């Protein structure tokens, strides 16, 4: 088995949702990556997660993220390059524009351990002569 896995759309589970979002699901043992394309003037269902952490990276266009906080609905429009952590919020994503918007969703189940040092320091430099 190869040490590097290169995936394409044919490796994904592709779904066109009724809300106008095309999702390509890449599902792994400990995390998922969703490549999403949301059609103009569409909105996803309001939802929340009890155990999943979602991190969203906008890759094209503008999306409006809405969430409930302190008994109020808050909204923020974000563009390409923005990163969202929805945490345990009740939230939805809306495309208010005339163009498609795209974003990637990284989903994982945190276990409550701070792993910053491992993440920051887990890189071993290898020179070409060591290959």
pLDDT tops 90 at residue 1? no
Q: Is residue 1 part of a domain?
A: no
Q: Is residue 97 part of a domain?
A: yes
Q: Is residue 3 part of a domain?
A: no
Report if pTM > 0.85: yes
Kindly write down the DSSP assignment for every residue of 18-52, as one continuous string: TTSEEEEEEE-SSEEEEEEEE-TTEEPPPB--SS-
Please report which residue ranges of the chain form alpha helices under DSSP H: 116-121
Total number of domains in the chain: 1
We report the CATH number of the domain holding residue 55 as: 2.60.120.10
Q: Is residue 102 part of a domain?
A: yes
Which domain does 43 fall in, by range?
A: 9-130
Going by pLDDT thresholds of 50, 70 and 90, the confidence category of residue 16 is very high
φ/ψ of residue 100, rounded to 5: -65, 150
Q: Is residue 2 part of a domain?
A: no
Helix and strand element counts for the chain (H, E): 1, 10
Going by pLDDT thresholds of 50, 70 and 90, the confidence category of residue 121 is very high
Establish how many alpha carbons lie within 13 A of residue 21's alpha carbon, considering only the half-sphere containing its beta carbon: 20
Write down the pLDDT at residue 97: 97
């Amino acid at each position: 088995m190869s040490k590097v896995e290169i995936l394409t759309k044919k490796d994904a589970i592709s779904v066109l949702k009724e809300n106008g979002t095309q999702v390509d699901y890449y599902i792994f043992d400990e995390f998922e990556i969703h490549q999403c394309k949301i059609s103009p003037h569409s909105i996803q269902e309001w939802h929340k997660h009890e155990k999943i952490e979602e991190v969203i990276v906008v890759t094209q266009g503008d999306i409006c993220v809405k969430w409930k906080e302190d008994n109020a609905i808050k909204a923020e429009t974000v563009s390409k390059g923005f990163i969202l952590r929805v945490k345990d919020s009740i939230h939805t994503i809306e495309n208010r524009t005339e163009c498609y918007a795209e974003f990637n969703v990284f989903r994982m189940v945190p276990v409550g351990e701070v792993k910053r040092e491992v993440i920051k320091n887990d890189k071993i430099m290898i020179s070409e002569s060591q290959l």
